[in-house]
Amino acid sequence: MKNTIEGFGENVFGLPVMEAHLSAPTFASLKRTIDTGSMLDASIADEVAEAMKIWAMEKGATHYTHWFQPLTGATAEKHDSFIFPDFKDGIVTHFSGNELIQGEPDASSFPSGGLRATFEARGYTGWDPTSPAFIKYADAGAATLCIPTVFCGYNGEALDKKTPLLRSMKVLSEQSIRLGKLFGIDCGETMAKATLGAEQEYFLIDQDLVAARPDILQTGRTLFGRSAVKHQQLDDHYFGAIKPRVAVFMADLDAELWKAGVPSKTRHNEVCPGQFEMAPVFETLNVAVDHNMISMEIIKTIAEKHGFTCLLHEKPFAGVNGSGKHNNWSIVGPDGKNWLQPGDNPHENAKFMTLVVALMKAVDIHADLLRATVATAGNDHRLGANEAPPAIVSIFLGDQLTDVIEQIEAGGASRSTDGGSIHLGVDLLPKLPRGNTDRNRTSPFAFVGNRFEFRALGSNQSPAGANIVINTIVAEALDEICTQVEASLAEGKEFNAALQDVLAEMIKKHKRILFNGDGYTEGWLEEAARRGLPNLVTTEDALEAINTQKAKDLFSKYGVLSNEELESRYNIYVEAYKTLIGIEAGTALEIAKTIIIPAVVTAITEYSAVPAVASITQEMSTLLEKTIAGIAGLEAAEDPAAEIVAMNELRVSVDALEGLVPADLWPMPTYSEMLLV
């Protein structure tokens, strides 16, 4: 009887492989570093490197690379082979501890946002032993050992997304351990770990059709295109039977993901035809982030193999749903338990409620920062467009948990729906419905039974940014709670009473962040404005949150990002946004001038000979004039905001022409061909 997935983790230098390939003391030392975040003992590096090399070469690898995540949002690698001359006209293979621990790629072509002067082009990569090395196979069978690393400048300044992510995990752990101690949980140096399950949406489009769409090729989305007559209105795609060609792709995808150690779990059709989702089982945050980056790459590669192009863009097609990435986040305490799982006894429940209140405070104070982490040109098309959460960040707790929160706020005074009231640390919580998922899906930050789900991430984004912020702001809130409770205890107050007072106070201050209703309504926009919650609609507005004293104070206080590191990120994201909109504008112009207009002219010429179609000919001529004017308007646009308006205007006349020009003359594949074929 078969009761295992063959090949799972086959390409990963994970714990079982390490244990088999390393001496017992070396394995123990490395495992301690992984579990506790303690400094790596450099003296074991040579042995680990040699074992990794032998394992990798047995799997066909000839090269290794430090694999890192620069601020472009993608991943980067520079390959080195294992060979070394033996100075007797032959070679030996070689991979030293130093080569494992540190690399020095030329950093000059990666964005530094002003962090690094051009004469100081050096950058350093440093091994992250907490995320396992893996082998990547290119199509031709070429295998490369990929070693997850951080990427820093000469003075240790972070030039990547992993460095601040690891720093933020450390501060979250420190404050969680501190909270644990108040609750009598002391597990020595074992870390608390944030966990992440990232649900990944994507589109699959036939490769041959994409080849004839320069907009998709250059920008990842369609800049023109008339909505298909039948698309998602019938809601017949969501969770529908998976078509055979896609099912075969998905089987192949899972096999590859599993080999890479990604615990891919669910797969299904999404709302829009051609749209799908993959969700892995959650893992320790930094490993889950690495795995999401690997997954995005593998989905694209496997799609190519099956004649598809995978679109990870947040809004590849106007008028139908775009793609997001749900960020399921929780904390596993040093005791190994999920601290966002409501407990079985009053004591555990008090800890659970403490975390919920910490989240409320964190999200209320830093709603703008959370919004900034999902601010990209692609995501602007989704947020607030009645398909994804609004740009206003609020928290959904559900009715029962909200009721408990209100009881704590009322200070245990007798007011409640079912007779009694909750006394923290004394009473049991009412049974919260398990898997209490927010079915209306309109809340950006929802409690879903045993974790919080941040639903505003774009499908194409690295999850690192959002989680750096979540970890840091929750750490800040826990810090404040612990500081206040510790002070009360020092004054001789009883623990539960002290905690009750601190939480009640915080709830009063921050309950405006709670919203259980429909986030898509006009009424909520007005209500949120009354509550003073920020509604940052565009990327340009949202990114300003990174550039505030509040953000600088937060990140520097906890050592997650220095002021300079934060500024550099702001500069990079603002610049990237401008560049991207500029590329879209340039591509739209080129397509309109060189592809659309010639086709329309041909159609008009052919129709001109037939008086019976004179009215259509006239309509096409009018739209052609509008298109020419639209081109002039786009050419005159000087900043991203103006470019976006002009692109939309140009699109209106082009899309109208698509509805008039004979199908065989229309020069690009249509929405219906791409989405339904």
454 binds ligand ADP (CB under 6 A): no
Of 349 and 373, CB closest to Mg ion = 373
- The closest of 113, 149, 170, 127 to 468, measured between CA atoms, is 170
196 binds ligand ADP (CB under 6 A): yes
Mask for 413-442, x = binds ligand ADP (CB under 6 A): ------------------------x-----
**Which residues, including other chains, have CB under 8 Å from residue 119's CB and lie 6 or more apart?**
none
Tokens in use for 345?
A: 């006894």
Residue 377 CA to residue 299 CA, distance in Å, equals 22
User: What, of ligand ADP, Mg ion, none, does residue 607 touch, CB below 5 to 8 Å by kind?
Assistant: none
Determine the interface stretch with ligand ADP among 62-70, 290-298, 327-335, 345-353 (rule: CB under 6 A): 327-335
Number of shown-chain residues binding ligand ADP (CB under 6 A) = 17
Residue 643 CA to residue 520 CA, distance in Å, equals 27
Of 226 and 451, CB closest to Mg ion = 451
- Which amino acid does the sequence have at 75? T
195 binds ligand ADP (CB under 6 A): yes
Residue 471 CA to residue 479 CA, distance in Å, equals 12
Q: List the one residue from 99, 128, 199, 476 that touches ligand ADP (CB under 6 A).
A: 199
CB 212 to ligand ADP: min, Å: 34
User: What, of Mg ion, ligand ADP, none, does residue 266 touch, CB below 5 to 8 Å by kind?
Assistant: ligand ADP
Paired sense of beta strands 324-332 and 395-396, if any: unpaired
Of 266 and 483, CB closest to ligand ADP = 266
8-state DSSP, 546: G
Number of shown-chain residues binding Mg ion (CB under 5 A) = 1
Of 112 and 443, CB closest to ligand ADP = 443
- The closest of 485, 384, 489 to 442, measured between CA atoms, is 384
Q: Is 236 helix (H, G, I), strand (E, B) or coil?
A: coil
Of 256 and 277, CB closest to ligand ADP = 277
User: What, of ligand ADP, Mg ion, none, does residue 257 touch, CB below 5 to 8 Å by kind?
Assistant: none
Of 282 and 573, CB closest to ligand ADP = 282
Determine the interface stretch with ligand ADP among 12-20, 309-317, 323-331, 352-360 (rule: CB under 6 A): 323-331
CB environment 93-121: b (16+ within 10 A), e (fewer): eebebebbbebebebeebbbbebbeeeee
Measuring CA to CA, how many Å separate 518 from each of 40, 427, 452, 529?
Answer: 49, 32, 18, 15
Residue 83 CA to residue 412 CA, distance in Å, equals 70
Of 42 and 281, CB closest to ligand ADP = 281
User: What, of ligand ADP, Mg ion, none, does residue 539 touch, CB below 5 to 8 Å by kind?
Assistant: none
Of 204 and 288, CB closest to ligand ADP = 288
Q: List the one residue from 36, 102, 190, 450 that touches ligand ADP (CB under 6 A).
A: 450
- Does residue 310 contact residue 276 with C-beta atoms inside 8 Å? no
Name the one residue in this structure whose structure tokens are 């005074």. Answer: 413
Site for ligand ADP in 338-377 (CB under 6 A): 338
24-36 vs 45-58: helix axis angle to the nearest 10?
Answer: 100
Q: Closest CB to ligand ADP belongs to which residue?
A: 197
Q: Closest CB to Mg ion belongs to which residue?
A: 326
Residue 627 CA to residue 227 CA, distance in Å, equals 18
330 binds ligand ADP (CB under 6 A): yes
CB 199 to Mg ion: min, Å: 5
In 82-212, the DSSP E strands lie at 83-85, 91-93, 102-103, 123-127, 133-137, 143-153, 193-206
- Does residue 506 contact residue 481 with C-beta atoms inside 8 Å? yes
Mask for 234-273, x = binds Mg ion (CB under 5 A): ----------------------------------------
**Which residues, including other chains, have CB under 8 Å from residue 167's CB and lie 6 or more apart?**
158, 558, 559, 560, 561
User: What, of Mg ion, ligand ADP, none, does residue 535 touch, CB below 5 to 8 Å by kind?
Assistant: none
Q: List the one residue from 38, 43, 266, 605 that touches ligand ADP (CB under 6 A).
A: 266
Q: List the one residue from 70, 103, 129, 197 that touches ligand ADP (CB under 6 A).
A: 197
Residue 454 CA to residue 446 CA, distance in Å, equals 7
CB 273 to Mg ion: min, Å: 21
Residue 441 CA to residue 434 CA, distance in Å, equals 17
Site for Mg ion in 321-350 (CB under 5 A): 326
Of 11 and 292, CB closest to ligand ADP = 292
Determine the interface stretch with ligand ADP among 3-11, 33-41, 76-84, 274-282 (rule: CB under 6 A): 274-282
Of 152 and 446, CB closest to ligand ADP = 446
569 binds Mg ion (CB under 5 A): no
DSSP string, 600-669: HHHHHHHHHT-GGGHHHHHHHHHHHHHHHHHHHHHHH--SHHHHHHHHHHHHHHHHHHHTTS-GGG--S-
Residue 556 CA, chain-centre distance (Å), reads 23
Mask for 289-328, x = binds Mg ion (CB under 5 A): -------------------------------------x--
CB 280 to ligand ADP: min, Å: 6
CB 556 to Mg ion: min, Å: 33
Of 329 and 671, CB closest to ligand ADP = 329
DSSP string, 5-69: -TTTTTTEE-HHHHHHHS-HHHHHHHHHHHHH-PPP-GGGHHHHHHHHHHHHHHTTEEEEEEEE-
CB 660 to ligand ADP: min, Å: 41
CB 388 to Mg ion: min, Å: 12
Site for ligand ADP in 277-306 (CB under 6 A): 279-282
CB 453 to Mg ion: min, Å: 5
User: What, of Mg ion, ligand ADP, none, does residue 279 touch, CB below 5 to 8 Å by kind?
Assistant: ligand ADP
Residue 66 CA to residue 124 CA, distance in Å, equals 10
Name the site residues for ligand ADP (rule: CB under 6 A): 195-197, 199, 266, 279-282, 326, 328-330, 338, 437, 450-451
Name the site residues for Mg ion (rule: CB under 5 A): 326
